[in-house]
A and B are shown apart, each in its own frame.
Chain A
Amino acid sequence: MIACLAIPAFELRASLRKRPSLALEPAALAPREGEEPLIGPVTAAADAAGVKPGMRMGEALATCPKLVLVEPDPASAERDWEEIVRRLEDSGFAVESAALGTAYFDTRGVERLYGGLEQALRRALAAVGSHWDARVGAATRRFAALAAANVARPGQALVVSDERTKEFLAPLPLRLLGLDERRREELEALGVKRVGQLAGLPGAAVAERLGPDGRSAWGQARGGRRGRIRGRRPAAEISEVLEFPEAVGNELTLRRALATLVDRALNRPERADRFVRKVALSARLVGGASWRRTLTFRDPAAESDRLRIALGPKLNDVPAPVIALRLELVELTEETGRQLELVRPEGVELQARLKEGLRQVKASTGGGAVASVVEVAPWSRIPEARALFVPRDD
């Protein structure tokens, strides 16, 4: 069976963890900076007041003047989701994370371990914890599992057998399908409002009228592909954080801080000479918000220059002054070796000697004794603002 674990409005829930009292108030996730002013997921109180996800911000505030807009906190949301996925993995599930708040896993491998399908699903819900209001759906097909998870109540595990899949999907609304708004409205105007009605149409006619998207939605309406769940490889989780004495908005300062983080992360012994395939750069911002960008390298890299050059331009997108900057090496390669260079680059031997010298100093004086000086604002008229010292344990 394919199981789907769903946590509706995950980003809003993650952002509300810092302000739990708002969960009972009319609140909605504010639009992200630079995006169309449409609100995100809403709380039950906001829904009861007539505010719907995707509404224009002005309209939402006019509908419910007490509505509180919660600033998105993507870094916390990703961290919370990563924690949930790991808890599932620790329970023995090979998890494929589809999006924040939605994950698939195959129950076949663990049913015997937990004594049956129902018990395995309950185990998955217990692993996530009750405060997230997670729900699980299981079916032989991926879309049916997703639909079951969306229909289930918080904390419920809903199993749809293969023979009941068609009957189960038929009365569900079209919004569950991955159709864009225009296509859905087009179908509704034609009187097709339920998944079962779409599934009943001839495939060729749907493809002709709605194109490839329509055809794929039609496939989903009939249960979707059986598909295989590809459990992810657990993330490497080598991360380095630099907290600033005061908020930094200057790009050059941030670039220098990034260079320090890159060097420190690459020097971590857990990396064990492996190459970096995927990195994430995140920041805690003034006012409690956060910012996060991920980057996957076409050619895995282990050179600090390449990482710096690739990540540097992302710092231009940081919307507010930064309190702490964090670099994560999310995914590392398995291999550690590459074709050796014929001529070793200049300075390699000196670097090695310096490293050994520092290792000996640390061995005799303890951790925190060695620090790098990072020039952050050499032009500043305030001398103590010109440079920072950053402890190094590498």
Chain B
Amino acid sequence: MVADTRSKSAVRSAGRLNEPRAALVEPQADGAPRLVNRLAVELIREEWRVVDRWWTEQPINRRYFDVVLESGQNVVVFHDDEHGRWFSQRGA
């Protein structure tokens, strides 16, 4: 039997890499993280704020910290001001 080669269309959805994961963060008084997943923050390398897509139903309002933990791991954590929760991501 000859296979029908006509209908072979491939639809694949691209996924996001480095999706944020919920993190256990203990902040200092100024809002900067002191502990991330029970590990002390050794150094805050960078801090930035992103306010974007405020015109959509999924606005972004986040305060980011690029930190080095006591284990030597480089992590990006952010406080989601929309939902009041902390998340972590792999650092650059």
Contact = CB atoms under 8 A, between A and B. Distances in A.
A383 B14 CA distance: 16
B52 A390 contact: no
Contact of A245 (B5, B15, B48, B76): B15
A80 interface: no
Contact of B17 (A240, A257, A386): A386
A388 B5 contact: no
A171 interface: no
Interface residues on A, range: 20 to 34
Contact of A385 (B5, B7, B8, B16): B16
Nearest to A392: B12
B39 interface: no
Given A237-B5, A270-B5, A384 B10 contact: no
B59 interface: no
B71 interface: no
A302 interface: no
Given A381-B48, A388-B14, 18 more contacts: A234-B6, A239-B9, A240-B9, A241-B9, A241-B10, A241-B11, A243-B11, A243-B13, A268-B8, A268-B10, A382-B50, A383-B90, A383-B92, A387-B18, A388-B16, A388-B17, A389-B14, A390-B14
B64 interface: yes
A373 interface: yes
Contacts of A257: 14
Interface in A350-391: 371, 373-374, 381-391
A114 interface: no
Contact of B52 (A234, A382, A387): A382
A393 interface: yes
A166 interface: no
B6 A244 contact: no
User: 9 closest Cβ contacts across the A-B interface?
Assistant: A388-B14, A387-B17, A241-B11, A239-B9, A243-B13, A384-B16, A383-B89, A390-B14, A391-B12
For A244, A391, A393, the residue with the greatest tally of chain B CB atoms inside 10 Å of its CB is: A391
A115 to B, nearest CB: 27
B17 A381 contact: no
A393 B7 contact: no
B23 interface: no
27 contacts: A86-B6, A239-B9, A239-B10, A240-B9, A240-B12, A241-B9, A243-B14, A245-B14, A257-B14, A268-B8, A270-B5, A371-B15, A373-B17, A374-B14, A382-B52, A382-B60, A383-B18, A383-B20, A384-B17, A384-B20, A388-B14, A388-B15, A388-B16, A389-B15, A389-B16, A390-B12, A393-B12
Contacts of A391: 12
Contact of B50 (A234, A238, A381): A381
Contacts of B20: 383-384
Interface residues of B, number: 26
Contacts of B13: 243, 245
B82 interface: no
Nearest to B64: A381
B35 to A, nearest CB: 21
Nearest to B17: A387
A242 interface: yes
A389 B14 CA distance: 6
Nearest to B50: A381
Contacts of B12: 240-243, 390-391, 393
